[in-house]
């Protein structure tokens, strides 16, 4: 109860401080000045969990003040937070709450703000069908409400959806409707970005209407209210001049753009900026640099398209043919992917989405393999072209032979040779024809054998690819199962750590605020008690963080044990002195040893001390009276050295002897701690080729053993 009261005092203090510091600020939302200052802090931290807490405070205070607009503003922060975090479940809750409250409070602009963010979220997730369904719902409701902002926004979002689905004609229709509606009903809004989206559609729809595109570009330059949009419009104008082949004007416009970009930071990977750079390089004959710019496109289809255009300008028609073929194959695979993703979205409604998405991924891999096969097929076509040329040469020889036969017949008619000579000529002709037929037969057999060989190679490659895909499918299934297991472990870890860290942190913050509050009078005893509680919780928080860091360090695979000769008794005494200040008042803490002070073993001193400290800390938590005894023995396990920590505390049931060494396991769930200490001890022991365990024969409390092998023990100074 005291902690809650202190937290409330802190929140109210922050609230009043914010009120007095921002009363004189400009308030564009026309809400109460005190609430506006809270909203500013919430908006600044909208992508941080603290923003959610501040937004809750704003909503509570807005309810008290009956400020309905401030209530709506408070609920916009969770929508933006969960949109950024890509948390679908919480995003849906936040959107539905904002829609409900904004409609009840009659501030419909926030109702359509929630709708817009939900649709954009679906687009980011590539769920275009759900986005389209929501957009149509939003459009119907906006026209029913006759709300200008909602109507304009839903028209623009419909354009965005159809652009993502490569339906530029329908996207142009919605963008133009949005621009016309903005001009008529929202004259204070800046329509220049809409104009540029319209220009983009005119550039891609066949036949290209460059004149209309230039009109909208000039309007965007004239009406742009921000420098970023104005520069984007100027770049678009330069691009259109290149499309229209007005190269002199294009060069002048290009120089103007480069001068502007010297004084203004603009993304170097912008698609339109890359296109005008490519065009300038082509005009200057710098084809290698043009290809380098083409490689910078994020869109693979656009990248292949520009490689093909550059090859045409460079008179490299074979290269252009190669890039264009690859573009068509990749575009078909992307279209197939979009169709499959649409089917996956529909199947998600009946529980089959995950299976369909995995099939899409496999289809993409198949598309890549098809592209590789296409390259091989193109090489084969080149070989076939050479064979066709050889056949043409044979046909020319056949024509020449026919001419020779005609000349022979003319000679026979003119000279009227003897019958014997004519028969001899006929015999020679028959022999030549027979030889020709034999040649043709051999050529046919040769090409048949080649075809069979290519068919066998094709079937072999296809079988190999199928086997490879099957293996990859199995690997994907294994990876998916491993990812699911990792997600479950992460969730369990976050649940444990959020509770364990929040408890001591709340205590530290609360008692610190009470001590520092000038309005609360505390006696010396109370201040001492609160200081002790702060120190205790600080130690606890340090222990929790150290456990987490140690576990991460040990499991990272990068930690290497520092094995050196170390004095056994010295390590035990360091561990004992580290925990001595935390032992209960009625508990005796002492150390005994069977070895002299110069006895050494080869081990990692830091990790051995860490195990002993964890054992001693665990004993102090569960021992309120009696004794805690640390002992070093060579006789208990001959050939090995045994460190034991014995206490007279609550003890551990026999059936829990192994469970306590598991991660996040605690016998007393109300006892502070992460449940990692004993698990860390076991990991360290395994890395040192040793063991840790609970002595089941000891019944007066608990007795933990840390057993290490002896390599070559040494003594000396």
Q: Are residues 655 and 691 in the same domain?
A: yes
Residue 14's pLDDT band (boundaries 50, 70, 90)? Answer: very low
Write the CA distances from 335 to 133, 300, 318, 330, 332, integer angstroms.
Answer: 20, 13, 26, 9, 5
User: 190-194, 198-202, 337-341, 366-370: lowest mean pLDDT where?
Assistant: 337-341
Structure token pair of residue 382: 């080149």
The whole-angstrom separation of Cα 694 and Cα 691 is 10
User: What does the block give as tokens for 256?
Assistant: 């103007």
Is the N-terminal amide bond of 207 cis, ω within 30° of 0?
yes
What pLDDT digit, counting tens, does each position of 611-636 carry? 999 889 888 888 989 999 999 999 99
Asked if residue 611 and residue 524 are part of one domain, the reply reads no
pLDDT the model gives residue 80: 94
Instruction: Identify the CATH number of the domain in which residue 507 sits.
Output: 1.10.287.130
| 224-251 b/e (C-beta count within 10 Å ≥ 16 → b) | beeeebbbbbbbbbbbbbbbeeeeeebb
Q: Is the domain of 74 the same as that of 139?
A: no
Q: Rounded CA gap, 135 and 156, in Å?
A: 10
Q: How large is the average pLDDT for residues 467-479?
A: 85
Residue range 347-369: mean pLDDT, rounded: 56
Q: Judge if 68 and 169 occupy the same domain.
A: no
Answer whether residue 667 shows pLDDT above 80: no
Please state, for a pLDDT cut of 70, what percent of the chain lies above it.
Answer: 75
Report the distance separating Cα 407 and Cα 576, nearest Å: 120
Same structural domain for residues 520 and 602?
no
Same domain, 670 and 608: yes
Residue-wise pLDDT for 281-295, tens only, equals 988 999 999 899 889
Nearest CA-CA partner of 214 in 250, 241, 247: 241
Q: How far apart are CA 170 and CA 168, in angstroms?
A: 6
Q: How far apart are CA 304 and CA 294, in angstroms?
A: 8
Task: Point out the domain boundary residue: 64, 82, 105.
Answer: 105
Contact 241, 251 (CB under 8 A): no
Instruction: Please give the residue range of the domain that contains residue 554.
Output: 417-558
CA distance 630 to 685: 18
> How many CA atoms lie less than 13 Å away from 525 in the CB half-sphere?
0
Any idea which residue has 């150290």 for tokens?
A: 546
680 contacts 550 by C-beta, under 8 angstroms: yes
Output the domain CATH number for residue 133.
1.25.40
- For strands 702-709 and 640-647, give the pairing: antiparallel
Q: Are residues 595 and 661 in the same domain?
A: yes
pLDDT tens, residue by residue, 221-273: 888 888 888 888 899 899 889 888 888 999 899 999 888 888 887 777 788 88
Q: Domain for residue 364, yes or no?
A: no
CA distance 310 to 204: 19
Best CA proximity match to 589, nearest among 648, 539, 530: 648
**Is residue 635 one of the residues assigned to a domain?**
yes
Beta-bridge partners for 628: 589, 647
Torsion, Cα of 666, 667, 670, 673 (10° steps): -30
Long-range contacts from 27-33, C-beta under 8 angstroms, 24+ separation: 29/69, 29/70, 29/73, 30/69, 31/62, 31/67, 31/69, 31/70, 31/73, 32/65, 32/67, 32/70
For the chain, how many structural domains are there in total? 4
Whether 323 is in a domain gets the answer no
Quote the CA–CA distance of 675 and 607 in Å, as a whole number.
18
Confidence (pLDDT) at 350 = 47
Structural domain ending residue among the three candidates 160, 189, 218: 189
Query: Which of the listed residues 532, 558, 584 is the one where a domain comes to its end?
Result: 558
Specify whether 584 is located in the same domain as 678. Answer: yes
- Domain assignment present for residue 401? The answer is no
Partners of residue 52 on adjacent β-strands:
none
Q: Is residue 323 scored above 80 in pLDDT?
A: yes
Judge whether 369 lies within some domain.
no
| CB 598, CB 633: distance < 8 Å | no
Q: Are residues 461 and 530 in the same domain?
A: yes
239 in any annotated domain? no
Considering only CA atoms, which of 167, 172, 159 is closest in space to residue 120?
159
pLDDT above 90 as % of the chain: 25
**26 and 79 belong to one structural domain:** yes
Query: Considering the domain boundaries, does residue 552 fall inside one?
Result: yes
Average pLDDT, the chain: 80
CA distance 530 to 497: 24
Instruction: Write down the pTM of the prediction.
Output: 0.44
Tell me, yes or no, whether 75 and 160 share the same domain.
Answer: no
- Kindly state the average pLDDT of the residues 577-600: 89
B/e letters for 95-113, b = 16+ CB within 10 Å, e = fewer, are: beebbebbbebebbebbbb
Range in 214-218, 304-308, 380-384 the model is least confident about: 380-384
Highest mean pLDDT among 82-96, 125-139, 155-169, 490-504: 82-96
| Residue 155 placed within a domain | yes
Q: State whether 577 and 669 are in the same domain.
A: yes
- As beta bridge partners, residue 643 has 632, 706
| CA 206, 212, 213, 214 torsion-angle sign | positive
pLDDT of residue 715: 37
Rg, the chain, Cα only: 41
d(CA 117, CA 138): 12
359: confidence class by pLDDT, cuts 50, 70, 90: low
Which three-class secondary structure state does DSSP give residue 367?
helix
Least confident of 91-95, 102-106, 345-349: 345-349
* Alpha-carbon span 339 to 367, nearest angstrom: 14
């Amino acid at each position: 109860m005291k902690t809650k009261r202190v937290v409330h005092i802190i929140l109210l203090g922050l609230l009043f401080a914010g009120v007095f510091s921002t009363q004189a600020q400009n308030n564009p939302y026309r809400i109460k000045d005190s609430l506006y200052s809270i909203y500013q802090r919430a908006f600044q931290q909208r992508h941080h969990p603290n923003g959610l807490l501040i937004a809750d405070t704003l909503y509570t205070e807005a309810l008290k003040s009956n400020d309905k607009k401030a209530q709506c503003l408070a609920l916009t922060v969770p929508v933006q937070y969960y949109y950024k975090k890509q948390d679908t479940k919480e995003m849906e809750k936040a959107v539905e709450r904002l829609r409900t409250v904004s409609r009840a409070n009659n501030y419909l602009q926030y109702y359509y703000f929630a709708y817009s963010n939900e649709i954009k979220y679906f687009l980011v997730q590539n769920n275009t069908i759900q986005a389209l369904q929501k957009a149509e719902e939003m459009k119907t409701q906006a026209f029913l409400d006759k709300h200008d902002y909602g109507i304009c926004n839903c028209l623009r979002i419909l354009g965005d959806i159809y652009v993502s689905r490569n339906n530029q004609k329908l996207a142009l229709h919605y963008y133009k409707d949005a621009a016309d509606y903005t001009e008529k009903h929202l004259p204070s809004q800046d329509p220049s970005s809409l104009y540029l989206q319209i220009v983009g559609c005119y550039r891609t729809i066949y036949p290209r209407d460059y004149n209309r595109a230039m009109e909208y570009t000039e309007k965007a330059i004239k009406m742009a209210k921000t420098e970023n949009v104005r520069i984007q419009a100027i770049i678009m104008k330069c691009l259109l001049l290149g499309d229209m082949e007005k190269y002199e004007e294009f060069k002048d416009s290009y120089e103007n753009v480069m001068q502007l970009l010297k004084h203004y930071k603009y993304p170097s990977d912008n698609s339109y900026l890359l296109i005008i750079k490519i065009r300038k390089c082509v005009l200057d004959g710098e084809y290698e640099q043009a290809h380098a710019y083409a490689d910078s496109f994020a869109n693979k289809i656009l990248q292949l398209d520009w490689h093909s255009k550059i090859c045409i300008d460079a008179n490299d028609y074979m290269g252009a043919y190669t890039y264009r073929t690859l573009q068509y194959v990749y575009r078909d695979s992307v279209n197939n992917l979009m169709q499959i993703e649409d089917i996956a979205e529909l199947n998600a409604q009946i529980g089959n989405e995950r299976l369909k998405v995995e099939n899409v991924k496999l289809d993409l891999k198949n598309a890549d393999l098809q592209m590789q096969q296409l390259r091989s097929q193109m090489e084969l076509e080149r070989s076939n072209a050479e064979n066709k040329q050889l056949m043409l040469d044979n046909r020319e020889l056949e024509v020449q032979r026919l001419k020779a036969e005609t000349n022979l017949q003319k000679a026979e008619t003119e000279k009227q040779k003897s019958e014997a000579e004519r028969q001899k000529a006929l015999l020679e002709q028959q022999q030549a024809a027979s030889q020709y037929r034999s040649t043709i037969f051999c050529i046919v057999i040769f090409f048949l054998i080649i075809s069979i060989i290519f068919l066998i190679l094709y079937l072999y490659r296809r079988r190999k690819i199928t086997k490879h895909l099957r293996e990859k499918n199995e690997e994907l299934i294994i990876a998916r199962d491993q990812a699911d297991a990792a997600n479950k472990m992460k969730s369990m870890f976050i649940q444990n750590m959020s509770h364990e860290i929040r408890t001591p942190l709340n205590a530290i913050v609360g008692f610190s605020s009470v001590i520092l509050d000038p309005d609360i009078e505390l006696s010396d005893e109370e201040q001492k008690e609160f200081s002790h509680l702060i120190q205790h919780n600080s130690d606890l928080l340090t222990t929790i963080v150290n456990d987490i860091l140690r576990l991460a360090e040990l499991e990272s695979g990068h930690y290497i044990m520092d094995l050196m000769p170390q004095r056994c008794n010295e390590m035990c005494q360091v561990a004992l002195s580290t925990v001595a200040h935390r032992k209960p008042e009625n508990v005796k803490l002492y150390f005994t040893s069977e070895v002299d002070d110069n006895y050494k073993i080869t081990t990692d001193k830091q990790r051995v001390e860490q195990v002993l400290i964890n054992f001693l800390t665990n004993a102090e938590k569960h021992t309120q009276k009696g004794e805690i005894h640390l002992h070093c023995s060579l006789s208990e396990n001959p050939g090995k050295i045994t460190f034991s920590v014995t206490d007279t505390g609550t003890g551990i049931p026999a059936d829990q002897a192994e469970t306590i060494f598991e991660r996040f396991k605690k016998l007393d769930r109300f006892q502070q701690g992460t449940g990692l200490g004993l698990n860390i001890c076991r990991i360290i022991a395994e890395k040192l080729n040793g063991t840790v365990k609970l002595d089941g024969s000891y019944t007066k409390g608990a007795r933990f053993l840390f057993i290490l092998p002896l390599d070559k023990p040494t003594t000396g100074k």
